[in-house]
Amino acid sequence: MEKRLSRSEAVRQILDGIVREVISGGAVAYMADKVRRFDDGVRIPMRSWSLCNQMIAFFQGTRDARTFNAWKEVGRHPKKGSHAFQIVAPIFKTEKDEATDEEKRVLSGFTLINEFRIEDTEGAELPYQTRMRELRIDELPLIDVAEKLGIKVRADLCGSAEGSFSPAEKIIRMNCADKQVFLHELSHGIIAEIKRKEKVRLDYGFEEICAELSSAFLGSLYGVDVDLQNTKAYIHGWAGKSHVAWKVIEAVDWTEKVYRFIEEIREKPQRQKEKNEMNIFTARNAAKSAKTNVLPFRTEDFKDRSQIYNPKIGKWVKRDSKTGLFTSVKGDGKPFSRVKIEETAFGEVAKRLPDDLPPAA
């Protein structure tokens, strides 16, 4: 009979297997068509703009901007009340070279062109918009962890990347519906939290290795279809001139930190719930004790004592029921607590007296 592994042993076995696969020899070619991006095969004009104009569009908060006529060609048009932003475009003119007698294009100046964001248009749905609906955010693994960290997830275009994470905005942008890509970006988000708490910094390339190793490990742990060939190629690509094995072994420590962070953040609500329930239970018991009895145990009535009301002095007198002798007088005119009242004519009258009756002189 095979020995049943504990959870910690199973976790370590999964991580060890991934590490051995990544540092082993063999092909490390990245399969570019393994993950289909939303914008694959879709022409987006602004990607041919100058870097300056692309930055203008970026600050406008869009990944796709076109002129009025360009939107009209794909069946869309600006919404009523929307405004365009402007980019700078060069103006060329054709001149004849006197030396060679050939025509050539010469820059003669610049002009401004009005562009509309896709967010400010309506009409026919573009192919990449259709593909974006394939992303089921609520079905992503560990989406509850992202929500607890305040990280938002949305479908977006990320250029040549399948996804991205913005620490400043706390947003994961997905350019595909691949779950391992999401785990990679979520790992970036968790690593950012760990770095903030521990006040450390990581080299950009090394952090990419940590995030990819974490995504492969978390995917294997939580039942996601993981492509270790692409993981291996990705890590080899970011290792640079460093030895891959040493980089991966160093990244294992951060992968374990990511895993412990996830386990802690998932258990924390349960621990807080138990703590709140215990506080409520303690408060209720304290209130009950304050009402009934200040002692930590319940006291019983005195069985060998009785009391009788003396109308001459207007006070209650305690009697020993075995000897018949009076033992003490209560000075405030009220009966003793937990002491039986003798059934006498005066006793019946005394029961009906108000509690605030002043004692006799």
Strands 85-96 and 315-320, bridge-based pairing: unpaired
Residue 360 counted as domain residue: no
Residues 116 and 227 in one domain: no
Q: What is the DSSP string of 145-176?
A: HHHHTT-EEEE---TT-SEEEETTTTEEEESS
Q: Is the pLDDT of residue 64 over 60?
A: yes
Tell me: pLDDT of 24 over 60.
yes
> Whole-number mean pLDDT of the chain?
84
Q: What is the pTM of this model?
A: 0.68
Query: Which residues constitute the domain of residue 144?
Result: 22-40+126-299
Q: State residue 322's pLDDT score.
A: 74
Which pLDDT value is given to residue 12?
Answer: 85
The two tokens of residue 197 are 């708490």
Q: Is residue 16 part of a domain?
A: no
Share of the chain above pLDDT 70, in %: 82
Q: How many Cβ atoms are within 10 Å of 56's Cβ, its own excluded?
A: 18
Check residues 306 and 350 and name the one with the higher pLDDT. 306
Are 117 and 134 in a shared domain? no
> What is the count of structural domains for the chain?
3
Q: In this model, does residue 271 exceed pLDDT 70? A: no
Distance CA 230, CA 29 (A): 7
Are 256 and 133 part of one and the same domain?
yes
Residue 115: phi and psi, rounded to 5, are -125, 145
Name the residue with tokens 């993950």: 35
Highest mean pLDDT among 19-28, 266-275, 291-300: 19-28
Give me the pLDDT at residue 351, please: 55
Cα 341 from Cα 167, distance rounded (Å) = 77
Confidence band of 294 (pLDDT split at 50, 70, 90): very low
| 165 within domain boundaries | yes
Is position 198 within any domain?
Answer: yes
Task: Verify that 51 and 112 share a domain, yes or no.
Answer: yes
Which pLDDT tens digit goes with each residue over 188-209?
999 999 999 999 999 999 999 9
Indicate the residue among 125, 145, 162 that finishes a domain: 125
Q: What is the DSSP letter of 313?
A: T
Average pLDDT over residues 237-249: 84
Lowest mean pLDDT among 67-81, 97-111, 220-234: 97-111
193 inside domain: yes
Using 50, 70 and 90 to split pLDDT, how confident is the model at 297?
very low
